[in-house]
Chain A
């Protein structure tokens, strides 16, 4: 069992680092508000596929790195990612049984939860006010979910990550 557990961890880490890069990659101003939350989407995929390996702890670390990269108050994204991933891990068996588009809807809800949590925490910590723009990344997230799902499933099977 130990041998199975230790397999392919760096491959998972690689995808997550890639999403961190995508999260801060410069984009034209027009597309900027619509940047999907790559990190969280990929995290959700891994928690659904391998809930025993990727769950709250990994999500917290990724969120924390996001905080450092984005320059927000440390802990905001970390907490939000951890809570969202907690929700998806505790329901992973249900979510797995849905079709990809139904999953996309659920991912959309999780992303919306993430953005509301981040907004809430930053409202209390740095006094920002709500703008509808804050929820714009949810829709692109829903749209990219099926593709992320297919690509990562292929990736997971190809490299036999368990």
Chain B
């Protein structure tokens, strides 16, 4: 018969050790920056588990693709062609406008903005914790992903990379309670900060005075201030503006433009972060 804990350390001692160890880790994770490298290493270690966990989903969508009927494919193809035609027309105008913009910027003696690299990444895992809005994508250190990198989808800003492992990285969504992003209103250029609410379909703008011109339906785009996001990407649309004069600030809520509740494929952006561009923008 096996004696219970006859040979190894007694269980109470083990518990004490483990409790101390946990508190050491918690303290380190919470109050120091030392855990970032540890976390990156650990994340690389468990990346195979992410891959395994996303397998059933992927094989499912693969099977669905395999059994799609010819008609459905043709229909989809037609739709995509039509879409491409429309977008190409827009692109032609865009190219012209970009040239014009560059010329004007050159005339005004400001910097011409460079185009950056882009990369498509797939979402492998969406956080189950109700208090965090985080997803894991399948690109990491080996693809050149860096911490703080902006992530967008086809509609607008999704979030930014918070930690990078070898072949995967973690992206915090703009709806997370700990995330804030500097924006400006597309219509009139008024600046604001958009903060996450913990809900995927609602953001809020804090500390906006009553006098500021913000209206329902305004599109908020990244302002490029702070240097974390490139300028001009759509972030959110204002859904309600309430002026309760008993409160010091207006109550403004917005809804993200990106489809945060169904993120599947995202785009990683590389752009030149230059501090002198910031200085030029603010006279």
Mark A residues whose CB is within 8 Å of B: 1, 4-5, 17, 20-27, 29, 32-33, 35, 51-52, 55-57, 60, 64-65, 68-76, 78-79, 82-83, 86, 89-90, 121-122, 125-126, 128, 131, 133-134, 162
Contact = CB atoms under 8 A, between A and B. Distances in A.
Contact of A70 (B19, B29, B127): B127
Contacts of B38: 74
Contact of A74 (B26, B53, B127, B170): B26
B46 A69 contact: yes
A68 B26 contact: no
A29 B261 contact: yes
A68 B14 contact: no
Contacts of A131: 130
B126 A26 contact: yes
Contact of B2 (A52, A56, A68, A73): A52
Contacts of A133: 130
B261 A72 contact: no
Interface in B1-52: 2-6, 11, 14-15, 18-19, 21-26, 28-30, 35, 38-39, 42-43, 45-46, 49-50, 52
Contacts of A126: 131
Leading 4 A-B pairs by shortest Cβ distance: A79-B22, A75-B25, A75-B22, A75-B26
B57 interface: yes
Nearest to A123: B131
A123 B249 CA distance: 28
Given A52-B5, A79-B22, A24 B15 contact: no
Contacts of B132: 71-72
A81 B28 CA distance: 19
A8 B17 CA distance: 26
Contacts of A57: 14, 18
B18 A79 contact: yes
A17 B51 CA distance: 13
B19 A51 contact: no
Contacts of A82: 15, 18-19, 22
Contacts of B11: 55-56, 86, 89-90
A151 B53 CA distance: 21
A122 B131 CA distance: 10
Nearest to A118: B129
A119 to B, nearest CB: 9
Contacts of A27: 128
Contact of A5 (B2, B5, B23, B127): B2
B270 interface: no
Contact of A71 (B14, B52, B134): B134
Contacts of B42: 68
A121 B4 CA distance: 31
Contact of A125 (B30, B54, B130): B30
Contact of B39 (A51, A55, A74, A122): A74
Contacts of A125: 26, 30
A71 B26 contact: no
A37 to B, nearest CB: 11
B29 A56 contact: no
Nearest to A125: B30
25 contacts: A24-B49, A24-B50, A24-B53, A24-B125, A26-B126, A27-B128, A52-B2, A52-B3, A52-B6, A55-B11, A56-B14, A57-B14, A60-B21, A69-B49, A69-B50, A71-B132, A75-B29, A78-B22, A79-B18, A79-B19, A79-B22, A128-B131, A131-B130, A133-B130, A162-B2
